[in-house]
């Protein structure tokens, strides 16, 4: 392969189990002969440790140059401390669409044949961080307040993304998930915009359905097969995508892509799993599936298909599985088995 066909990508191994699952994913991509040139950067707790900044300028500059990143999980302190580096990256690069597919790979679980795609609005809603406490008497946190913001432009963008995705991938239905009965402005604008865009541009191309978020959460457990593509606002999308991950074997199987006009960042849905870090037992598949989404994104769909196929064969024919999937393989043992499959072609 000549130098001109190589693709520079920013690599952020991340915190906790991040370096372990990143090493596994790089081994798989190398076995696939994927033409990526990695620019290694730190962020999250790793950024704080290395240079006192959870999102170092060098990391931002790298993504600005490559416009692509593969990212491990980044730790965020709970209740105080620095703001999430993930949220800041989404803001910095206007990564407005968070694409989270949930597909059964290991059959025989509680649910079989799941094939759902959740499209989450990634820049607005209750994640804007417009939050404050109001002190009363000697309680500095007597009142906690948060303001959510959804804009017409943001709603249009994410609804079009979801409808376009459904049409392009031959999906039948897009379900718009909202809470417009209670949050009439914040999620009302989202539902109203979805209806407008669908009526004007997609009526003949794909079915649109509406559902209130609480009913959606229940129906996903009762009968997930009734759904196809789901589109929703930021917080609801965060929660429902973890629920969908639970339908397909847990967070170790759930990849995600953050896509904007100027950049795309691929990651596992799960966090840094501090309870597993350093033990070599984390499931690397979610990040590997995110790498498959990266391969699709850069037009290397044949390699993405091979990666997904060989993950499937390693799990279901070779029966090599990590603990979260009921097996006893270490991260390295699973990776070695997968690499052997990939090298066999
Ligand atoms: P988590 O996703 O790290 O862990 C939740 C549960 O899933 C734990 O029991 C963990 O052991 C398990 N798990 C996660 N990934 C796994 C894997 N690959 N293989 C096997 N089991 C796995 O969520 P938690 O504990 O709420 O968050 C830990 C840290 O991660 C926090 O600092 C949080 O802010 C951060 N986080 C970062 C994300 C990102 O960078 N995109 C996403 C979610 C959380």
Q: Is 15 marked active-site?
A: no
Ligand 1 pocket member 272 (CB < 6 A):
yes
Q: DSSP 3-state assignment of 68? A: strand
pLDDT digits (tens, 9 = 90+) for 236-247: 999 999 999 999
* Contact between 184 and 178 (Cβ < 8 Å): no
In the beta sheet, which residues pair with residue 232? 120, 177
Residue with the nearest Cα to atom 36 of ligand 1?
271
Closest C-alpha to 308, from 285, 283, 337 = 285
Counting residues of the chain whose pLDDT is more than 70, the rounded percentage is 99
pLDDT digits (tens, 9 = 90+) for 266-300: 999 999 999 999 999 999 999 999 999 999 999 99
Q: Is 214 marked active-site?
A: yes
Mean pLDDT value of segment 9-18: 98
Ligand 1 pocket member 324 (CB < 6 A):
yes
Domains contained in the chain, CATH given: 1-98+254-345 (3.40.718.10), 115-247 (3.40.718.10)
What is the pLDDT at residue 4?
55
State pTM to two decimals.
0.94
Helix H or strand E encompassing 294? helix 285-297
Q: Is 103 marked active-site?
A: no
Question: What tokens does 223 get?
Answer: 């009968």
Angle at which helices 213-222 and 234-247 cross, to 10°: 10
pLDDT at 2 over 70: no
Q: Is 242 marked active-site?
A: yes
pLDDT digits (tens, 9 = 90+) for 40-58: 999 999 999 999 999 999 9
Ligand 1 pocket member 254 (CB < 6 A):
no
- Measured in Å, residue 162 CA sits from the centre of ligand 1 at 26
- More confident call, 79 vs 31: 31
Q: 33, 112, 214, 262: which one is catalytic?
A: 214
Question: What tokens does 87 get?
Answer: 């949220």
Q: 15, 179, 202, 324: which one is catalytic?
A: 179
Q: Is 112 marked active-site?
A: no
Name residues whose C-beta falls within 8 Å of residue 290's C-beta, 6 or more positions apart in sequence.
Answer: 25, 70, 255, 256, 257, 266, 267, 268
Q: Give one word for 214, left, alpha or beta, with left for phi > 0 and alpha for psi -120 to 50.
A: alpha
Ligand 1 pocket member 18 (CB < 6 A):
no
């Amino acid at each position: 392969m000549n130098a001109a066909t190589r693709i520079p990508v920013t690599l952020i191994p991340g915190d906790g189990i991040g370096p372990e699952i990143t090493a596994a994913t790089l081994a798989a991509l190398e076995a696939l002969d994927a033409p990526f040139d990695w620019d290694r950067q730190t962020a999250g707790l790793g950024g704080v440790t290395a240079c006192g900044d959870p999102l170092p300028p060098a990391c931002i500059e790298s993504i600005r140059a490559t416009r692509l990143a593969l990212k491990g999980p980044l730790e965020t302190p709970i209740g105080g401390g620095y703001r999430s580096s993930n949220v800041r990256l989404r803001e910095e690069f206007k990564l407005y669409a968070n694409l989270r597919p949930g597909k059964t790979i290991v059959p025989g679980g509680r649910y079989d044949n799941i094939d759902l795609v959740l499209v989450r609005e990634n820049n607005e809603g209750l994640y804007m961080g417009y939050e404050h406490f109001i002190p009363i008497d000697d309680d500095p946190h007597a009142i906690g307040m948060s303001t959510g913001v959804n804009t017409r432009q943001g709603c249009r963008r994410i609804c079009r993304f979801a409808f376009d995705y459904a049409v392009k991938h031959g999906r039948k239905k897009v379900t718009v998930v909202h809470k417009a009965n209670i949050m009439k402005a914040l999620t009302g604008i989202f539902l109203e915009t979805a209806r407008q865009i669908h009526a004007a541009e997609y009526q003949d191309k794909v079915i649109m359905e509406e559902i209130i978020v609480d009913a959606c959460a229940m129906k996903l457990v009762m009968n997930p097969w009734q759904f196809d593509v789901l589109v929703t606002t930021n917080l609801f999308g965060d929660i429902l995508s973890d629920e969908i991950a639970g339908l397909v074997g847990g967070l170790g199987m759930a990849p995600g892509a953050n896509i904007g006009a100027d950049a795309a960042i691929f990651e596992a849905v799960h966090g840094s799993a501090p309870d597993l870090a350093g033990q070599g037992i984390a499931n690397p598949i979610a990040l590997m599936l995110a790498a498959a989404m990266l391969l699709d994104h850069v037009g290397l769909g044949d390699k993405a298909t091979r990666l997904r196929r060989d993950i499937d064969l390693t799990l279901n024919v070779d029966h090599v599985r990590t603990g979260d999937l009921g097996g006893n393989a270490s991260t390295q043992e699973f990776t070695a088995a997968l690499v052997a499959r990939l090298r066999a072609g």
